[in-house]
Amino acid sequence: MSLESLSPILFETVSAVTTDPSVELGSRRTDEAGNDYVYCYNAGEYQILPGRCGYLGSLNTGYSMTATNAAAQVGVYCGGIHHTTLTTGAYGWVMTKGLCRVSPDSSAVTFDAGEYIAVGVNDGYVSAPVTFSTGTRVGYTVTSGIANTGALFATLGKAWIRSDIW
């Protein structure tokens, strides 16, 4: 027996960022590499760069998120920004599961391949703590990453990430 189906017609890529929603908030998509995405709104005061993470804080509702993560980690990790900067007040696709570009936060400086990572401050990632009492592991690094140092650009690593809220 054969399975016949028609794939959905998609009018934009998962790297699209718009100021007007082009699809319904909360829409889900899987790309050709098997990475999962959710369509979200950046309700924060800061843009979220590729390699950084989206964060669902206590003041955000539905599929609205922010870039800033308090040091106390009040809120929930919702996914990684993989392709394009998600500007303030814009809609875009957030990777919730898959092989995502990741960047260390300003306090972490670097992380190596083969480490578990957790959400750090300033929308970056840090090497995961030994215990879960100080943060939840959200991914596992495949390549190393280096934070910005002076005039040098960050070297984004890659990690298998997973958000459990969407």
pLDDT at 1: 46
Within a domain: residue 135?
yes
Q: Are strands 137-141 and 53-56 parallel, antiparallel or unpaired?
A: unpaired
Within a domain: residue 147?
yes
Within a domain: residue 10?
no
SS3 assignment, position 64: strand
Within a domain: residue 12?
no
* 49: Cα separation from own chain's centroid: 9
Within a domain: residue 136?
yes
CB–CB of 147/42 below 8 Å?
Answer: no
pLDDT at 28: 92
Domain span at residue 142? 17-162
Residues paired with residue 54 on neighbouring β-strands, in sequence order: 79
Model-level pTM?
0.84
pLDDT at 69: 65
Residue 102 to residue 143: CA distance in whole angstroms: 9
Within a domain: residue 24?
yes
CB–CB of 24/76 below 8 Å?
Answer: no
pLDDT at 151: 44
Within a domain: residue 11?
no
- Output the six-digit token pair for 133: 């009492």
Within a domain: residue 7?
no
Residue 92 to residue 63: CA distance in whole angstroms: 11
Number of domains in the chain: 1
Residue 132 has phi, psi (to 5 degrees) of -85, -5
One digit per residue, pLDDT tens: the chain, 166 residues? Answer: 454 545 566 678 899 999 999 899 999 999 989 999 999 999 988 899 998 988 887 666 788 988 876 665 556 889 999 999 999 999 999 999 999 999 888 776 778 889 998 887 778 888 886 666 556 788 999 988 776 554 445 567 899 999 988 7
| Residues near 41 by beta carbon (within 8 Å), at least 6 away in sequence | 21, 25, 63, 64, 65, 90, 91
